[in-house]
Amino acid sequence: MLNKELGISELSGIQFGTIVTAGYLALGIFYFPRELVSTAGRGGIWALWIDGLVTFLSMKLNFAMSRLAPSQTFVQFVGDLVSTPVALVLDLFRVVYHLGLAVLITVLFTSFMGNDFLPGTPTWALAGIAIVGAVYIASFGTTALARLLQVGYIPMMLINLLSLGLTITLIKYPLLLLPPLTIRPIPIFEAAYREFFIFIGFEVSITLYPFVKPRDRNRAELYATGGLGLVLFSLTFMYETCIAAFGPSYITYMRWPTVTLLRAVEVSGFFVEKWGSLVITLWTVAVLGFLAVRLWCVVHDIAALHFVHSIKHYRYILLPTAVAVYVLGLSIPNAAITNDLTEKLFIPAGVIQLVVIPVFVLIIGRLRPTTVAKLRKRTTRTSTHSS
Amino acid sequence: MIVQYPTSSALLDYADHKPVSNSGKPVEDIVVAGSGITQCFSRAQSKIAKDLYLGQIQLVDLSTHMTPPTLLRALVSLNRIGTMDLTPFIFVSGSPLPDVMDTPGNGAQFPTLYYVTQETCVDCQPVNLSIHLWQFSSDALTPGVDPHLPYVTVEPNKNVTVNRIALYRHLQFIVALNPQQTADYGLLKGLAQKLTLAVPYDHATVRDIHGYSRLSTHLKGGQIQARFHIVLQGTLANLRSITDTTTDNAIIARESSEILSRQCLAVLTFTQQHDIDPWGIGRMLNWQHPDAFARYPHWHHEYPRVEMVVHVQMQLHKLGDLK
């Protein structure tokens, strides 16, 4: 599959890093850090760092897998490597999984907006706004998506981080800033499992990898890892301010702790006194970004399944996918159900996606070096063609 | 519940960019009673043709007669209003809400700002007593700490005084501290600002006392010890002699520290007698020694037996000295 011939422009390293970063974080951010604190108490910070480490390692694994055939997406090359039926199962699993994540974020966004900002607006309208926005962003293809995230997502993250700095004024108990030294491993691991949700979604990288300019690939990996570092830093910051302002017991009673924290910030004298509330509405950018990245990913995976023969049909697949997400999203009545679904289905599925499949594919790759060499050869030829 | 909405004249003034106070009352009140927030709100809505909005709650006034189940229900429903920030101020009063609200104040235009200044204790020299709803909820829901609130008194001459602290055991109102105890309370919590103290030595006065306080818990062979380390700064005034020596300063600093620590200990003992822990000693024990705290299923049984240690460190400045 020749990228240039298909009219796909190529991404720079930082664009790749931004899309991959926008591909996670949005789902778990609403609950954060409730799951950590309710399971592990003050030890939640260790759980967060464990999650960060696991994500870092699985990111490495996924990049190693992508490097088997750098110019092809997972769905394109996996059929040649493992047999076609196995590949079909893996691919379908991937499509369903990404579709599910898109549905979850739609439901979360809808209930969050409905609860906190627009109580009178009907659910279908809120979900519709999110999906139409995401479809619009995704419809222009990879480069447009990347550029939009670059101008929307990165400033949003920065403003968010700076505003979180204001919450330092709410800190009542600096003692709580210190990570606790009495470590109880079982609750910490349990919390790490339940909070892993926040990092799920970056596996979009294995579909995205071939779209990066070949000479930028090493830098792209660096940017994605840097993005993870930044996310981990800001999550740690959020966790610390939240727990030091509210105390560990109160957080477990809250629906959206970080939202409450930002809304409790009052900048008296500034012309927008409720600056925190304003910043929370900017989270919409993160949600739309996440949803757009998901839709993009699902559509590319479906297209590569050879149900249709070219990525030129991108927009025609995008629309039915979005409709499916919308309908499924409306069929879930509230955010408590998504919470349950996440714990029982999506975290295990995410672990399979992020760890089990890469390990499996890498082992097969090691066992069949000739096939990998053939793939590489084709890939190199592809990239010479395309450049 | 009092529901307020802007009067039409105030809206007209606002549209013309005129100050609101020109044309009398900026807001109109609807006073309603009911067994819950929702009921009150729907009753208020039925009294007026305008659309009311429950998102902007400015102030929560609790009654001293409120039973814990009622208070819990009210707190839960307040916390569940998703559109509301949990930042309104909350206080407790023995007088009915309309009486409290009817008292004249200079803050009609900025009710939120008004209560920030109003809730500084008058007699005990400004201890900032204001409590946000989320702070109260946090204390009420955390084990090992009892919530407290500013106690608003309506004087016979229709003036509002806020110079006392109401103490709760869980959600049950128990007792209100007197102004002197409230001042010491401010010291122990590290909230005190501009406190004044008369010292017997040379009839000196130490004014502008302010500082911070640090609470820590220690375990000594099964005995829990709570240590308050209070670091204060004050300005020396009203000395009879014209010049003061270093020795004088040291003596006055020691005496004032002693007086203050004695007063603070008295307040701590008072709360131990009533078995109320507004300091969060149990909570601190939970954070510093979680295993020890887990041994006590009922913190209130243990609290009166805690050994209290108050250490006051006073640093004096001479009047006119640069800090």
Question: Does residue A47 have a pLDDT over 90?
Answer: yes
Confidence of residue B132 (pLDDT cuts 50, 70, 90): confident
Residue B23, pLDDT score: 54
Show the domain range for B108. Answer: 53-318
Q: Over pLDDT 90: what percentage of chain A?
A: 26
Using alpha carbons, select from B125, B280, B265 the residue that is nearest to residue B191. Answer: B125
H-only helix segments in A72-197: 74-81, 84-116, 123-139, 142-166, 185-195
A163 in the Ramachandran plot: left (φ > 0), alpha (ψ -120 to 50) or beta?
A: alpha
Q: Give the distance from residue B132's alpha carbon to the nearest chain A alpha carbon, in angstroms.
A: 9
Lowest-pLDDT range of A68-72, A166-170, A346-350, B164-168: A68-72
**Chosen from B287, B289, B299 to mutate, greatest number of chain A CBs within 10 A:** B287
Contact yes or no for B82 and A116 at CB 8 A:
yes
Q: Is B142 within 8 Å of chain A by CB?
A: yes
**Chosen from A45, A253, A265, A270 to mutate, greatest number of chain B CBs within 10 A:** A253
Residue B110, pLDDT score: 42
Q: How far apart are CA A237 and CA A165, in angstroms?
A: 9
Confidence of residue B242 (pLDDT cuts 50, 70, 90): low
Which helix H or strand E contains A303, and what residues bound it?
helix A275-304
Residue B249 lies in a domain: yes
Is A280 in a helix, a strand, or coil? helix
- pLDDT per residue over B271-284, tens digit each? 999 999 999 999 99
Contact yes or no for A182 and B291 at CB 8 A:
yes
Confidence of residue A271 (pLDDT cuts 50, 70, 90): confident
Mean pLDDT of all residues in A39-65: 92
- Please count the residue pairs, one from chain A and one from chain B, whose beta carbons lie less than 8 angstroms apart: 51
Q: Which residues pair with B197 in a beta bridge?
A: B206
Q: Is B16 within 8 Å of chain A by CB?
A: no
Identify the DSSP state of B243.
Answer: S
Confidence of residue A307 (pLDDT cuts 50, 70, 90): low
CATH number for region A2-386: 1.10.4160.10
Lowest-pLDDT range of A119-128, A191-200, A297-306, B233-242: B233-242
Q: Which chain A residues contact residue B287 at CB under 8 A? A: 42, 173, 175-176
Residue A276 burial by Cβ neighbours in a 10 Å radius (0-12, 13-18, 19+): buried
Residue B30 lies in a domain: no
Using alpha carbons, select from B217, B195, B203, B169 the residue that is nearest to residue B263. Answer: B195
Minimal-distance CA residue of chain A relative to B142: A249
Task: Please tell me which of A167-181, B13-27, B46-60 the model is most confident about, judged by mean pLDDT.
Answer: A167-181
Say if residues A231 and A160 touch (Cβ distance below 8 Å): no
Residue A311, pLDDT score: 60
Spatial neighbors of B242 by CB under 8 A, at least 6 apart, are none
Residue B27 lies in a domain: no
Using alpha carbons, select from B214, B206, B207, B217 the residue that is nearest to residue B190. Answer: B214
Instruction: Point out the residue among B142, B284, B290 whose CB comes nearest to the CB of A250.
Output: B142
Q: Is B287 within 8 Å of chain A by CB?
A: yes
Tokens 């409790």 belong to A264
Spatial neighbors of B161 by CB under 8 A, at least 6 apart, are B122, B123, B152, B153, B154, B155
Which helix H or strand E contains A24, and what residues bound it?
none
Q: What is the CATH number of the domain that holds B127?
A: 3.30.300.210
Residue B121 lies in a domain: yes
Q: Which chain A residues contact residue B131 at CB under 8 A? A: none
- pLDDT per residue over B195-231, tens digit each? 788 888 877 888 888 888 999 999 988 899 999 999 9
Residue B309 lies in a domain: yes
Mean pLDDT of all residues in A85-112: 89
Confidence of residue B114 (pLDDT cuts 50, 70, 90): very low
**Chosen from A110, A242, A249, A256 to mutate, greatest number of chain B CBs within 10 A:** A249
Residue A23, pLDDT score: 85
Provide the ipTM: 0.80
Cα A94 to Cα A200, A341, B281, distances in angstroms: 13, 17, 52
Tokens 């043709």 belong to B49
Mean pLDDT of all residues in A279-303: 87
Q: Show the CA angle centred on residue B242, arms to residues B241 and B244, nearest 5°.
A: 75
Using alpha carbons, select from B184, B159, B138 the residue that is nearest to residue B283. Answer: B138
- Provide the b/e sequence for A192-225 (b: ≥16 CB within 10 Å): bbbbbbbbbbbbbbbbbbbbbbbebbebbbebbb
Residue A317, pLDDT score: 85
Question: Does residue A13 have a pLDDT over 50?
Answer: yes
Q: Give the distance from residue B99's alpha carbon to the nearest chain A alpha carbon, in angstroms.
A: 29
Contact yes or no for A247 and B142 at CB 8 A:
yes
Residue B32 lies in a domain: no
Say if residues B148 and B93 touch (Cβ distance below 8 Å): no
- pLDDT per residue over A213-254, tens digit each? 888 888 999 999 999 999 999 999 999 999 999 989 999 888
Q: Give the distance from residue B142's alpha carbon to the nearest chain A alpha carbon, in angstroms.
A: 5
Identify the DSSP state of A120.
Answer: T
Confidence of residue B116 (pLDDT cuts 50, 70, 90): very low
Q: Is B87 within 8 Å of chain A by CB?
A: yes
Lowest-pLDDT range of A167-176, B165-174, B254-263: A167-176
Question: Does residue B112 have a pLDDT over 60?
Answer: no
In order, the DSSP letters of A29-45 are: HTTTTHHHHHHHGGGHH
Minimal-distance CA residue of chain A relative to B189: A172
Instruction: Point out the residue among A172, A250, A260 whose CB comes nearest to the CB of B141.
Output: A250
Q: Which has the higher per-residue pLDDT, B85 or A37?
A: A37
Confidence of residue B175 (pLDDT cuts 50, 70, 90): very high
Q: Which chain A residues contact residue B279 at CB under 8 A? A: none
- Provide the b/e sequence for A106-128 (b: ≥16 CB within 10 Å): bbbbbbbbbbbbeeeeebeebbb
Contact yes or no for A263 and B87 at CB 8 A:
yes
Q: Is B296 within 8 Å of chain A by CB?
A: no
Minimal-distance CA residue of chain A relative to B132: A264
Q: In chain A, which among 315-374 make CB contacts under 8 A with chain B?
A: none
Residue B206 lies in a domain: yes
Q: Give the distance from residue A249's alpha carbon to the nearest chain B alpha carbon, in angstroms.
A: 5
Mean pLDDT of all residues in A310-325: 83
Mean pLDDT, all residues of chain A: 85
Question: Does residue B322 have a pLDDT over 70?
Answer: no
Sheet containing strand B89-93, edge to edge, reads: B59-63, B89-93, B148-154, B160-169, B172-176
Say if residues B29 and B102 touch (Cβ distance below 8 Å): no
Task: Return the axis-axis angle of helices A123-139 and A84-116, rounded to nearest 10°.
Answer: 130
Minimal-distance CA residue of chain B relative to A266: B87
Confidence of residue B320 (pLDDT cuts 50, 70, 90): low
Lowest-pLDDT range of A185-199, A297-311, B63-77: A297-311
Q: How far apart are CA A185 and CA A50, in angstroms?
A: 11
Q: How far apart are CA A335 and CA A110, in angstroms?
A: 9
Q: What are phi and psi of B132, to 5 degrees?
A: -85, 160
Which amino acid is it at A71?
S
Q: Is B155 within 8 Å of chain A by CB?
A: no
Q: Give the distance from residue B109's alpha carbon to the nearest chain A alpha carbon, in angstroms.
A: 15
Q: Which chain B residues contact residue A115 at CB under 8 A? A: 82-83
Say if residues A207 and A301 touch (Cβ distance below 8 Å): yes
Mean pLDDT of all residues in B9-22: 69
Q: Is B79 within 8 Å of chain A by CB?
A: yes
Mean pLDDT, all residues of chain B: 81
Identify the DSSP state of B190.
Answer: T
Confidence of residue B323 (pLDDT cuts 50, 70, 90): very low
Q: Which chain B residues contact residue A41 at CB under 8 A? A: 290
Which helix H or strand E contains B30, and what residues bound it?
strand B27-31
Tally the domains of chain B: 1
Minimal-distance CA residue of chain A relative to B135: A246
Q: How far apart are CA B299 and CA B322, in angstroms?
A: 46
Residue B95, pLDDT score: 83
Is A367 in a helix, a strand, or coil? helix
Identify the DSSP state of B245.
Answer: -
Question: Does residue A55 have a pLDDT over 50?
Answer: yes
Question: Beta strands B172-176 and B160-169: pairing type?
Answer: antiparallel
Residue B280 lies in a domain: yes
Using alpha carbons, select from B174, B84, B74, B163 the residue that is nearest to residue B124. Answer: B163
Instruction: Write out the two tokens for B135.
Output: 């702070």
Contact yes or no for B83 and A263 at CB 8 A:
no
Q: Give the distance from residue B190's alpha carbon to the nearest chain A alpha carbon, in angstroms.
A: 11
